[in-house]
Amino acid sequence: MVCATMRPAVGLQRRGQHLSMIAAVVPRRVLARSSALACGVITAIVLGACGSASTGGASTKSPSPDTAPVLSVKVPTTRTLSGHLAPAPPLGTASQAAAERPESAQFPPADGRSLSKLTQLVSGIATLAAANAVFTPGAQRFAFALTNKAQQFIYAPTAVYLATGPYAPATGPYVAPDDPMGVAPQYRSKENAAPGGLKAIYWTTVPLRSGVFDVLALTREGPKLVGSTGVIAVAQSFNIPAVGQRPPAIATDTLASVHGDVGLLTTRLPPENMHSVSFNQVLGKRPIALLVSTPELCTSRVCGPVTDIVVQLQHQFGNRITFIHQEVYVDNQPTKGLRPQLKAFHLQTEPWLFTIDRRGVIVGRLQGAFGVNEARQALEAALHN
């Protein structure tokens, strides 16, 4: 299992009274040789874009530097003697509710300042873990989670800033609502039954062009700002079907095609009901939600939660949309490789959600972790186009 074209998140180093945020850029040739290791060390949590091989099909000449400039964040020396952030207490419902409704006024305007200048406003640090890794020019989804030094998830109002380098003028803030990933108990699978874990995922839409962008996320925790950084690598194009395009007319497995063997259709316990018809039989005739995931075998550990989200939404949308779930591996055995349906879509990571309108055009595409609200928006788009 390897990570796709995802670039490593930020490493944190102490230098005297400064915490230096260093974009630990790993060349693609290194990722190709040691991608299994990269998938484990990119961040302390893995939220998506992890699959069976690197995401192929990219035709990009984006720069891939071996090193990146340092962003130094001045941290008050009165915090702790060790210089580490104290473990944050669990945030209550009110905190998560505030994270779901961030406002631009809660964050400093870029006003032509660089990311380096903006980091001077930061009085604490966090780690950013990207949930998606496929970026092309235009308005693109950027999803992520945040953790503190104790590896606890952070839920608070957050916004994102972008720049082509730490000293280039930044754009933003792009507010990033925290999208809940919880479902009602009757829709929770065995793979998603353990307590704790990721309760919500941040996401926003950012304008991108080909190249590499530095990312600064600012999180409002009371009167202070907590900073985290990352990198987005933007390819000119990918072969993965995108919004506005027509997907390949794949034949997905049904209960009839596997002769009633539900274990070949899904690894979810209990099994979901998304295999009554093949994708190619309804493409261009009905709105479709195509979920590619493997709840039991998913290396990113978010396939179970996002599959539960889609199961819950299936009950809410009823027969207005045809819901289809596609497992990832042949016979649900990773050693046998990817199923031909994934190869037809040029997918080598999981999970993915595609929503297609009745004309047979993709209107929504979500990679990696996603929440209830974003998934609902993607489904609504399939009905209203």
Instruction: State how far the Cα of 50 lies from the Cα of 1, in Å rounded to an integer.
Output: 7
The model carries a pTM of 0.79
**Token pair 């484990």 is at which residue?**
40
> Is residue 375 classed as helix, strand or coil in its secondary structure?
helix
For 298, residues 6+ apart whose C-beta sits below 8 A from its C-beta are 304, 328, 350, 351
Other Cβ atoms within 10 Å of 181 Cβ, number:
23
| pLDDT score of 45 | 34
Token couple for 140: 């693109």
C-alpha distances out from residue 283 to 134, 290, 322, Å: 24, 11, 10
Cα atoms found within 13 Å of the Cα of residue 106, Cβ hemisphere only: 24
Token couple for 179: 């999208």
Beta strands 124-125 and 349-350 are unpaired
For 54, residues 6+ apart whose C-beta sits below 8 A from its C-beta are 2, 3, 4, 5, 31, 32, 35, 348
Beta strands 322-326 and 288-292 are parallel
| pLDDT score of 88 | 39
CATH class of 262-383: alpha beta
For 279, the enclosing helix (H) or strand (E) is helix 279-282
Over its C-alpha atoms, the chain yields an Rg (Å, rounded) of 21
| pLDDT score of 196 | 64
Other Cβ atoms within 10 Å of 364 Cβ, number:
21
Identity (one letter) of the amino acid at 82?
A: S
Percentage helix, strand, coil for the chain under 3-state DSSP, each rounded to 5 = 20, 30, 50
For 313, the enclosing helix (H) or strand (E) is helix 303-317
pLDDT tens over the chain, length 385 residues: 333 333 333 332 222 222 233 222 222 322 232 222 223 223 333 354 444 333 333 343 433 333 334 344 443 322 222 233 333 344 444 577 899 999 999 999 999 999 999 999 999 999 999 999 999 999 999 999 999 998 899 999 999 999 999 999 999 999 999 999 999 999 999 988 766 678 999 999 999 999 999 999 999 998 999 999 999 999 998 999 999 999 999 999 999 999 989 999 999 999 999 999 999 999 999 999 999 999 999 876 799 999 999 999 999 999 999 999 999 999 999 999 999 999 999 998 999 999 999 999 999 999 999 999 999 999 999 999 7
Instruction: State how far the Cα of 148 lies from the Cα of 43, in Å rounded to an integer.
Output: 12
C-alpha distances out from residue 16 to 21, 71, 86, 253, 376, Å: 13, 14, 19, 59, 47
Domain boundaries, the chain: 2-234, 262-383
